[in-house]
Amino acid sequence: MPVSRLISAMLNVKATVAENPVRIMGYVVARRQVDAQALLDSIQAYKHRHRISAPVLLVVHQDLFWNGNSFVFGLARETVGAGVVSTARLGNEYYGRQGSDDDYIDRIAKEGAHEIGHLLGLPHCSDRECVMFKPDTLDELDRKKKVLCPVCREQLDVILAKG
Ligand SMILES: [Zn+2]
Ligand SMILES: [Zn+2]
């Protein structure tokens, strides 16, 4: 998967790809969206059952909502190392634009790296080009580079060095 390679490169951590073993819970018919919290519950239960301590990121095609947010690109639950990313709004087609695999892959990778960054202990960053900046729109996501700013990079290196 090119996405996992990009995420590994952005964060300088190892990543492996697996088929989703978790049942998609939390679908709300009236919204045609999935409650991101319910998915995180499922991942949390799965990790617990299989005694997985490493961060787990689930990538789904369903559109996600959470709390008062009409939608979220992704969500992380740091305390249990579980994260989820939705690809529903990451394709150009969703916005009536010409499709592009490169754009799509870049966006999934940036969102994935962002959520895994949280799982590893990074907070949001005010640098609009940093992976850890919180984007509210596709344009804000696209403005980000596929790299951590120097401050977040150093923070993550300290965290990783502690093991
Ligand atoms: Zn975030
Ligand atoms: Zn940063």
pLDDT digits (tens, 9 = 90+) for 133-146: 999 999 999 999 99
State how far the Cα of 8 lies from the Cα of 138, in Å rounded to an integer: 22
115 is catalytic: yes
Q: What is the dihedral of CA 152, 147, 84, 40, to 10 degrees?
A: -10
Residues in the chain, total:
163
CA–centroid distance, residue 32 to ligand 1 (Å):
23
At 120 the pLDDT is 96
Paired sense of beta strands 69-72 and 74-77, if any: unpaired
In this prediction, what percent of the chain has a pLDDT beyond 90? 91
Q: What is the pTM assigned to this prediction? A: 0.95
For residue 56, list its beta bridge partners.
82
Centre a 10 Å sphere on the Cβ of residue 29 and count the other Cβ atoms it contains. Answer: 6
CA–centroid distance, residue 48 to ligand 2 (Å):
31
State how far the Cα of 117 lies from the Cα of 93, in Å rounded to an integer: 27
pLDDT of 163 over the 80 cut? no
45-100: per-residue pLDDT in tens? 999 999 999 999 999 999 999 998 999 999 999 999 999 999 999 999 999 999 99
Paired sense of beta strands 27-28 and 69-72, if any: unpaired
CA–centroid distance, residue 116 to ligand 1 (Å):
9
| CA of 78, nearest ligand number | 1
Q: Which of 19, 78, 115, 129 is catalytic?
A: 115
- pLDDT band of residue 1 (cuts 50, 70, 90) is confident
State how far the Cα of 81 lies from the Cα of 74, in Å rounded to an integer: 14
At 21 the pLDDT is 84
